[in-house]
Structure formats: C-alpha cells, structure tokens
C-alpha cells in the first residue's frame, strides 16, 4: 500500500496567540504525543514542530488522518472547545506540498521574522525527538538531513540570515556592537511589555552581558528571569540601577519622558552610557543626547537597522528558493528510487539463493580455501548481473515509468515468492 508524507499546520498566519498557546507542545509533550500517534495510527514517520509561532505535525500514512490527529491533540491539551480547533489548521495532503512546506519552515521563509536564525535549531530539536521515540524511517532521516544541508547552503551562499531583521534582534545586535570592548557589560532593561520581553528573550540567547530587569510589576521581572542568571531590581531602585548600567534599554508606556536631560545630568557620567529608547511615545528625552557621555538611540534608529537587514534578506529569497528547488529535486529522485528498492532487493535475494544452492552442491568437492574463493567469485558475478537492472530501474524512476519494468522483473523471476526484506 502506497504511503504519503503529509502535514497539518497551525501558525501565526492562521491562529491568534491565544490559540497557539493552547496547542504548543514542549519536548516531553511532543514525545508523548508522537508515541500516541504511533500507537493509535501506526505512522511510519512522525515529526512534531512546535514553537511560539507554530504547531505542526508531519506524518507518513496511506490515508489522510488530519481530523483524527487534531482531535487527539485537543484531548492531549485538554481544550474546552475542541470543535473549533480544525478551523485554525491548514492540511497539507500532497507529499510534494508537505515536503516543500517543511523545507521552507526549516529555512525561515515562513517565520514572522524572515530568515529567523532560531528556526533551524528548533526543527533539529524536533527531529531529535522523533529519533528518540523511534518515529523516523529512512525516508524521514534522508529528508531531514537534506533539509539541514540546504539550510547550511543558505547560510554560506546567501545573505538570507545576515543582520537583525526585527526590532528586538536589532536592539540586541546594537548592544553587542556598542559594548564589544566591555568584558561583561551591564545592561538594564526597563519595562517589560511586548518589545521589552522580546529583547530580554533574545539577550538570554547571547549570554554576553550582565542583565538586570526593572518593571513596575515586580512579578513580571521575576517570571522572565526564571531559569536565567538575570538580576531583578525594584522599581524604587531605578536611579541606582541606571547609575551602574552601561546600557539602558527603555520600553515603557508613558505620556512624558521618564529619563529627562536633568535626570541624566545628575548621574555624573564618567565614561559612556548608552540609552536605547524603544518606547512610543518616547520615554527618553531627546535632549539627553546633549549630556556629555550620553548617547541615545531611538526606535527609528533601531527600526532603520532592522529594515536594512530585512531588505537584504528579502533580496536573497529567490536564491533561497533555487537552493531548495535543487535539494528537493535530489530528494525526489531518491524517494522515487526507494519505491523500487524492495523489487531490487528481492531480485538480489532470488539470484543469491540460486547461487548458494548451486555452490552447496559443489562444496563437498572443494577445500575450505577453494570454497571461500568460489563464494567470493560467484557473489561478484551476481552483483555484476544485478547492476544493469538496478541502474535501469532507478533511471526509469526518474522518468516516472518504473512500474512496468518492475512488474516485468517480478514476473520473470517469480519475485512475489521472495520474502520482504527486513
């Protein structure tokens, strides 16, 4: 029975954050869910990709199980209204479509920030989870390694992942540039709204600075710092924290600037202090730039940096697609050859059986050394005989007309009687 590689996809393009949060799977949940899919449906391949922006399940099966998978996911996550969930999923029931989608997701073409540097690693983790629960056949192994090789080519041959293409990434990039001569710069993040939180998460990945969080709601700082070596300071100690910091990132909702020229003058800056304002309206007064030692970067400066990087990435998209086209063509040739591999293997077994039967009749007349020599000789003859039919069958696969040749081979040598190769 023919099996097909399929997928279901829920992402930021199809579902709001409230829904994405409900179906997100961590490592333990993804492995458990994969095992249940194996148990319930017997899928040969299972790949669960789950991030803050998407939850996708890839599987190999002879039929479309999208509805059943979504129902099982709803049960696993204990959703109150599971009947609504299918509306947020896109079903990819065509093998080429599902493969192409996975290639593009793993490369970062479907990320909110085009060319996202994190997505290749996230997909690698997902693949490792599949391997850990024995949910990967040779098909998935070959597919994933082809994808990883393509991703490496994208890094080496294009500008698709160059620069920081979002405000939060660009902010972290800027901090790294400004403090490159500091061994462990002190970075103070003030305000933990959406952008401030994104900056903190991206800083956590870099580990090049001492990070302190200050927020009006202390519990929010504690929650974000959990599992990191970040410091958390009280809002009442803001002035003291600003004095100690090398870089102040402000992401506050205010109607008038919190960091005024007078406030910064009172700090008596001895070297340089960098102020990065991500607030709209501004939380750092423009005149702060007039204070000796104080350098101010506005949201417009950061956005310009991000836009320039994004433009470079977008210009590289056609080159990325060409790399993916080449990789997919090679993978398709391989996957087509896999269809006739059982026939080739049975043919080899049939020839080898004949060889061994004839050889056994002569063994009583041969010395051990002669028997070994004849065994190697006849094995080489079988391999030579097998080479031409195998090559022709594989070439026929690429042309799309292997079925007829395979059927002839099966009938001529009565290969249906040969057991399946394990």
Tokens 């399940």 belong to 57
Nearest residue to 227 (alpha-carbon basis) of 196, 205, 250: 205
Q: Evaluate the omega torsion of the peptide bond into residue 281 and state whether it is cis, within 30 degrees of 0.
A: yes
Query: What distances in angstroms separate CA 232 from CA 24, 171, 192, 210, one per listed residue?
Result: 28, 20, 12, 11
For this structure, is 52 an active site residue? yes
Residue 206: partners with Cβ closer than 8 Å, 6 or more residues away: 172, 176
What are phi and psi for residue 166, nearest 5 degrees? -130, 160
Tokens encoding 242: 């600003």
List the end-to-end C-alpha distance of the chain, in Å, as a whole number: 17
- How far apart CA 289 and CA 391 sit, in angstroms, is 72
Query: Which DSSP helix (H) or strand (E) runs through 277?
Result: strand 273-277
Strands 4-11, 54-61: pairing is: antiparallel
Catalytic residue from among 19, 52, 91, 385: 52
Closest CA to 193 of 170, 163, 176, 214: 214
Measure the CA–CA gap between 288 and 280, rounded to whole angstroms: 17
**Residues 6 or more apart from 95 whose CB is under 8 A from it?**
4, 5, 6
Specify whether the CB–CB gap between 98 and 5 falls below 8 A: yes
Which residues are tagged catalytic? 52
């Amino acid at each position: 029975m023919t099996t097909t590689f399929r997928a279901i996809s829920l992402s930021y393009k199809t579902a709001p954050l409230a829904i994405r949060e409900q179906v997100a799977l961590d490592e333990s949940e993804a492995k458990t869910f994969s095992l249940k899919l194996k148990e319930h449906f017997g899928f040969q391949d299972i790949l669960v990709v789950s991030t803050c922006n998407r939850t996708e399940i890839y599987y190999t099966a002879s039929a479309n199980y999208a509805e059943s998978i979504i129902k099982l996911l709803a049960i696993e996550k204990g959703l109150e209204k599971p009947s609504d969930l299918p509306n947020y999923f896109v079903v990819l029931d065509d093998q080429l479509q599902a493969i192409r989608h996975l290639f593009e997701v793993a490369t970062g073409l479907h990320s909110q920030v085009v060319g996202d540097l994190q997505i290749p690693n996230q997909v690698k983790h997902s693949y490792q989870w599949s391997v850990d629960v024995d949910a990967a056949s040779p098909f998935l192994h070959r597919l994933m390694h082809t994808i990883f090789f393509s991703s490496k080519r994208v890094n080496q041959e294009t500008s698709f992942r160059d620069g920081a293409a979002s405000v939060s990434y660009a902010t972290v990039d800027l901090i790294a540039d400004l403090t490159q001569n500091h061994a462990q710069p002190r970075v103070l993040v003030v305000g933990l709204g959406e952008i401030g939180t994104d900056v903190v998460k991206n800083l956590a990945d870099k580990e090049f600075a001492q990070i302190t969080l200050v927020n009006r709601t202390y519990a929010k700082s504690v929650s974000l710092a959990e599992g990191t070596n970040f410091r958390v300071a009280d809002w009442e100690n803001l002035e003291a924290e600003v004095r100690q910091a090398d870089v102040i990132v402000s992401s506050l909702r205010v109607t008038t600037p919190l960091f005024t020229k007078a406030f910064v003058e009172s700090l008596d800056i001895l070297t340089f202090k960098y102020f990065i304002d991500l607030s709209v309206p501004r939380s750092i007064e423009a005149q702060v730039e007039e204070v000796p030692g104080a350098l101010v970067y506005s949201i417009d400066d950061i956005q310009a940096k991000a836009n320039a990087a994004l433009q470079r990435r977008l210009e590289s998209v056609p080159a990325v697609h060409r790399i993916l086209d080449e990789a997919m063509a090679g993978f398709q040739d391989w996957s087509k050859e896999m269809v006739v591999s059982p026939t080739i293997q049975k043919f080899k077994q049939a020839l080898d059986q004949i060889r061994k039967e004839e050889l056994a009749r002569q063994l009583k007349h041969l010395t051990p050394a002669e028997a070994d020599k004849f065994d190697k000789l006849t094995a080489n003859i079988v391999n030579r005989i097998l080479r031409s039919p195998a090559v022709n069958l594989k070439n026929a696969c690429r042309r799309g007309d292997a079925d007829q040749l395979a059927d002839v081979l099966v009938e001529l040598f009565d290969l249906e009687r040969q057991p399946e190769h394990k």
